[in-house]
Chains A and B, each alone.
Chain A
Amino acid sequence: DGGITQSPKYLFRKEGQNVTLSCEQNLNHDAMYWYRQDPGQGLRLIYYSHIVNDFQKGDIAEGYSVSREKKESFPLTVTSAQKNPTAFYLCASSTQGGAGYGYTFGSGTRLTVV
């Protein structure tokens, strides 16, 4: 079955530590996205990529980094510069670099700072 796999489902980070969230898709989608969701709020865009080896900052990119070395993979690193990283992180993909073609979302990673 085609879809997006995010791992791990739950992640705990110590103060000052970098952590990496995995996102893999087998839908052959060109575009991939990372969103952050805080309680009672909508999704905010962190980074997006429309093609391999290229990515762009979203609305809240500070303290995050990404890479897009393969079409199938778009990992997100939450760095120690992100002061409030506790949130629910969602990865998504679409067939083209535009929302008109429908998005597929992963099941999310819940990150908690301990």
Chain B
Amino acid sequence: KQEVTQIPAALSVPEGENLVLNCSFTDSAIYNLQWFRQDPGKGLTSLLLIQSSQREQTSGRLNASLDKSSGRSTLYIAASQPGDSATYLCAVSGSGGSGSARQLTFGSGTQLTVLP
């Protein structure tokens, strides 16, 4: 069964720093990997989606990489801002042929605090 781990569980940085969030998964046979942002008491907002054939995706100050063979992904945030404070969740989907096999498995998240 797929397991997704995110390290660290919490991170606090001063404004302006570049930072990296880590995600690892046990089964490398994935269909894709997604990074989400969750603000307190809110739903999830999709940040980046990386297909299994891709190595990375970029959106603004965010860059996500994927190394399927090692079961790892990183989310890089450049020039962090207080508004980036949130919980960041990583999720992977299986590569089975049917839709049921492609459900998302989530990590427990990294709670990021950017200090002004």
Are B49 and A102 in contact, with the CB atoms below 8 A? yes
Contacts of A105 in B (CB 8 A): 36, 43-45
Give 4 new A-B contacts, CB below 8 A, not counting A98-B99, A108-B43: A48-B103, A88-B41, A103-B34, A103-B44
Q: Interface residue tally of chain B, by bracket?
A: 20 to 34
Contacts of B36 in A (CB 8 A): 105
Are B43 and A98 in contact, with the CB atoms below 8 A? no
Task: Give Cα A103–Cα B9 distance, bound, in whole angstroms.
Answer: 24
Q: Select which of B4, B43, B107 is within 8 A of A90 by beta carbon.
A: B43
Q: Chain A contact residues: over half helix, strand or loop, or mixed?
A: strand
Are A103 and B45 in contact, with the CB atoms below 8 A? no
Please give the number of chain A residues whose Cβ is less than 8 angstroms from any Cβ of chain B in the complex: 30
Task: Give Cα A61–Cα B109 distance, bound, in whole angstroms.
Answer: 23
Task: Give Cα A50–Cα B101 distance, bound, in whole angstroms.
Answer: 12
| Closest beta carbon of chain B to A82's beta carbon, Å | 20
Contacts of B41 in A (CB 8 A): 88, 108, 110
Are A99 and B102 in contact, with the CB atoms below 8 A? yes
Beta-carbon contacts of A14-57 to B below 8 Å, as 1s and 0s? 00000000000000000101000000111111001010000010
